Amino acid sequence: MRKPLIVANWKMYNTVSEASFLVEELIGKIGDISSVEVAIAPPFTALEAVSKILSETDLTLAAQNMYWERAGAFTGEISPVMLRDLTCRFVILGHSERRQFFGDGDGEVALKVEAALAEGLIPILCVGETLGEREYRKTFEVVERQIRGALDGGMPDSGGALIIAYEPIWAIGTGKTASPEAAQEVHCFIRRLLENLLGKGPGGEVRILYGGSVKPDNVRGLMEMQDIDGALVGGASLDAESFTRIVHFK
Ligand code: PEP
């Protein structure tokens, strides 16, 4: 059984006080939930404050990125050790905005995945195709290259130690969502690939999230699909009411 996971990616939004306010509001609105796991990924500057607030709850903490070294002369970077120290359980890696604006390629993502796994952080590995790639029917090829590339440095030792987020780039922040059936087709492909790479048991345990304009009114249809195990939510996670409705998708 794969427990559904809903992750809020706040991107570069919210100061410490705004983040604290929003997370308190979320906790109040979400209430007690045991059937869904919820993680919040604030910007680095708000991790500590959010960590303290979440410590009394079942909600978990995620980071949006990290560097692959444990420590050293790497000005401006954050290490996996630092994220563990702040009680992060997950780290988002290879997000398309990192790939597009900050030069994270498959090689860098592989180093990050390997370092996260070594530190006991669960990578949320983001993959997905551009609109052009979809139109040229390259979706499977792109997603396979990204997943094989990211796992080049080492495989997780269990299915629970890895999360994949399928995020078609044309759906991120655009209001366009893949239909549940179109998303499921790619999730199913990813599942078969993971079963090949990790073995049938572990490959079947990896949670595969969908991301790209997930909203309260489309989440349920997506979550009904066999291989969609949760959502990575950007824009709609910045509003407590919307995010709560997504979490309570059932
Ligand atoms: C994201 O940034 O991972 C994302 C899916 O954003 P949005 O929900 O705004 O499309």
- Checking if the pLDDT of 188 tops 90, the result is yes
Beta strands in the chain (DSSP E): 5-9, 37-41, 60-63, 88-93, 122-127, 163-166, 207-211, 230-233
Where residue 105 sits, what CATH number does that domain have? 3.20.20.70
- Are the C-beta atoms of residues 24 and 249 closer than 8 Å to each other? no
Mean pLDDT of 206-234: 97
> Where does the pLDDT of residue 191 fall: very low under 50, low under 70, confident under 90, or very high at 90 and above?
very high
> Where does the pLDDT of residue 111 fall: very low under 50, low under 70, confident under 90, or very high at 90 and above?
very high
Question: Which ligand 1 atom is at minimum distance from the Cα of 171?
Answer: 10
Specify the pTM: 0.97
pLDDT of residue 192: 98
Look up residue 178 and give its DSSP letter: -
Question: Which ligand 1 atom is at minimum distance from the Cα of 11?
Answer: 2
Which residue has the CA at smallest separation from atom 7 of ligand 1? Answer: 234
pLDDT of residue 176: 87
Q: What is the extent of the structural domain holding 137?
A: 5-247
Total tally of structural domains belonging to the chain: 1
- Checking if the pLDDT of 159 tops 90, the result is yes
- Distance between Cα 199 and ligand 1 center (Å): 30
Among this protein's residues, is 248 annotated catalytic?
no
Long-range contacts of 206-209 (CB under 8 A, 24+ apart): 206/2, 206/156, 206/159, 206/160, 206/162, 206/163, 206/164, 207/2, 207/3, 207/4, 207/5, 207/163, 207/164, 208/163, 208/164, 208/165, 208/166, 209/5, 209/7, 209/124, 209/163, 209/164, 209/165, 209/166
Q: Tell me the best of 96, 125, 233, 237 to mutate to test the pocket of ligand 1, counting ligand atoms within 8 Å of each CB and taking the most.
A: 233
- Distance between Cα 236 and ligand 1 center (Å): 8
- Checking if the pLDDT of 141 tops 90, the result is yes
pLDDT of residue 250: 86
The rounded mean pLDDT for the chain is 97
